[in-house]
Amino acid sequence: MKVSASPKVHGAQIGLLQVCAAGVLWGTGGLVVTVLHERDGLGAMTVSAWRMLLAAVALVTFALVTGRSRAVVETIQTHPVLAILVGFGTAAYQALYFVSVLIVGVSVATVVSLGLAPILATVWEQFRARTWPTWRQVGVLQAALVGLVLITSFAGHGSSAPGGQPGVGLLLAVAAGATYAATTVLGHALAQRVDSVALTTSATVVGAVVLTPFLAIAAIAGEPALPRDPASLALLVYLGVATMALSYGLLYAGLRTTSGSAATVATLVEPLSAALLAVLLLGERLAWPAVVGGVLILAAVLALHPNQRHPAPA
């Protein structure tokens, strides 16, 4: 007799797929940011501010069209502290990560920030449950982190540290990883209580409020603040709608059935997708250590497949 998977297990599988899809979309963001910087001279913080602002406009419009505006307002009214913290954390992670990249380079910033996040999320979840991680969990985490180091070090899209304060850059990368982990854990807690679209919209609006002043700062400093042509504008819209609004919507939808630690491991497909895009679109070649790193990341994500005895929280 064939036994079908329980609804909780099936929901956890869908949740992991949603989180992985968010990671793939985030992986395209780096390529778009690079193109906008080369074509229009837009700085990282300027692009990040536009990304959050356009995402907020898209999500508010979607909420109004689909009749979910009341759910957004209720989310902010019912859980104001959590909604503000998640939105502020999302904006802060981007800012800390981008500044760290400018000081210590892409590879170091990515390894430290993305590598630290799943460790902190796992430690927090085990602390709350008052249990020790299983050997399987430790193995999954180790495979994911080794894969992350390999693919960011050998994928060919990393950069050396351009700044002269590597200590400051490393501290910022650590702060980015801690902020990302905390935001994921908080988002997981709030996703259990509210609609994922309402959560994404409220958090993105808060993030837009935090980052929009950087547009004024760029204009005052005489730096480029707007794209120069329709093609660049289309890329900027894609950056806001797809890699922010849609991706975070997928993340928070996935967090409804997936633990925070599993989500942070699953989002490590971001550097993997970025490396593959560099191969397909920029003609870069992947060294064999980067290929091994990609395989390890995929293996770690597949190992997160929930079983019937230990389904992810619903």
In a domain, 67, yes or no: yes
Nearest to 110 by CA among 271, 298, 267: 271
- Contact indicator for 204, 87 with CB cutoff of 8 Å: yes
Mean confidence (pLDDT) of the chain:
80
Q: Any residues with CB less than 8 A from the CB of 213 and at least 6 apart, and which?
A: 49
In a domain, 9, yes or no: no
Residues of the chain where predicted confidence (pLDDT) is lower than 70: 1-12, 105-108, 155-166, 260-261, 278, 282-284, 286, 302, 304-314
In a domain, 6, yes or no: no
Tokens 């869908």 belong to residue: 14
pLDDT of 82 reads 92
Q: Any residues with CB less than 8 A from the CB of 194 and at least 6 apart, and which?
A: 71, 74, 75, 78, 79
pLDDT, tens digit, 9 for 90 and up, residues 47-93:
889 999 999 999 999 999 988 889 999 999 999 999 999 999 999 98
Name the residue range of residue 173's domain: 15-303
pLDDT of 307 reads 43
pLDDT of 294 reads 76
Residue 152 CA to residue 171 CA, distance in Å, equals 19
pLDDT of 313 reads 40
Quote the number of domains for the chain: 1
Tokens of residue 16, six digits: 């992991």
- Contact indicator for 257, 12 with CB cutoff of 8 Å: yes
In a domain, 310, yes or no: no
In a domain, 158, yes or no: yes
In a domain, 10, yes or no: no
Residue 275 CA to residue 290 CA, distance in Å, equals 9
Residue 107 CA to residue 114 CA, distance in Å, equals 11
